[in-house]
Chains A and B, each alone.
Chain A
Amino acid sequence: MIEVWQAALLVAVIGGIVDLDSTATWQFMVSQPVVAAPLTGLFLGYFHGDVVSGLRLGLMIGTILQLVWIEQLPLGMNIPPDAALASVLSVALGYLAGRYFESYVEREVCNTVALLIAVGLGLLGRSLDIWIRRLNTSIDNWVAGKLEAGAFHALDVGHSLGGFLTFLKAFLFCFVAVLIGVEPLRTFTQSLNISQNTGFIVIEGLLPAVGFAVLASRCLQTPRELQVFLLGVAAFTLLPAWFWLPVIFGLGIGWYSSRSPSNA
Chain B
Amino acid sequence: MPELSRLTLLQVAFRSFFLQASWNFRGMMSMGFLYAIKPALDQIYADPELRRQAYVRHMKYFNTNPYFSSILMGVVLALEERVARREITDDIIDDTKEGLMSAFAAVGDGFFWDSWRPFVATFALLFAFNNFLLTPIIFLTLYNLPHLYLRFRGVFWGYRMGTDVIRILGRFQLPRVRLGLRYATMVLLAYLVANHVNLHTPLLITNLPMEYFYWGEKIVQGIGATLLVGLSALAYRSKIDVLTISFLLMLLALLLYHWGILI
Contacts and interface: CB of A to CB of B under 8 A. Distances in A.
Question: A and B bound?
Answer: yes
Interface of A: 23-30, 32, 34-35, 38-39, 52, 55-56, 59, 62-63, 66-68, 70-71, 73-77, 116, 119-120, 133-134, 136-137, 139-141, 143-144, 147-148, 150, 152, 155-156, 158-163, 166, 198-199, 202-210, 212-220, 225, 228-238, 241, 243, 245-247, 249-251, 253-259, 261, 264
A133 B18 CA distance: 15
Interface string B202-238: 0000000000000000110111011011111101110
A152 B246 contact: no
Contacts of B135: 34, 38, 59
Interface of B: 17-27, 30-32, 34-35, 38, 48, 51-52, 55-56, 59, 63, 66-67, 105, 109, 113-114, 117-118, 121-131, 133, 135-136, 139-140, 143-144, 147, 173, 175-177, 179-200, 218-219, 221-223, 225-226, 228-233, 235-237, 242-243, 245-246, 249-250, 252-254, 256-258, 262-263
B29 to A, nearest CB: 10
26 contacts: A25-B19, A25-B20, A26-B17, A30-B140, A32-B121, A38-B135, A70-B122, A77-B25, A136-B25, A140-B24, A150-B52, A152-B52, A162-B22, A162-B24, A166-B21, A207-B246, A207-B250, A209-B232, A229-B189, A232-B186, A233-B226, A237-B219, A237-B223, A247-B126, A253-B187, A254-B187
Contacts of A26: 17-18
Given A147-B56, A217-B236, A258-B176, A245 B184 contact: no
A225 B189 CA distance: 12
Contacts of B35: 155-156, 159
A158 B38 CA distance: 14
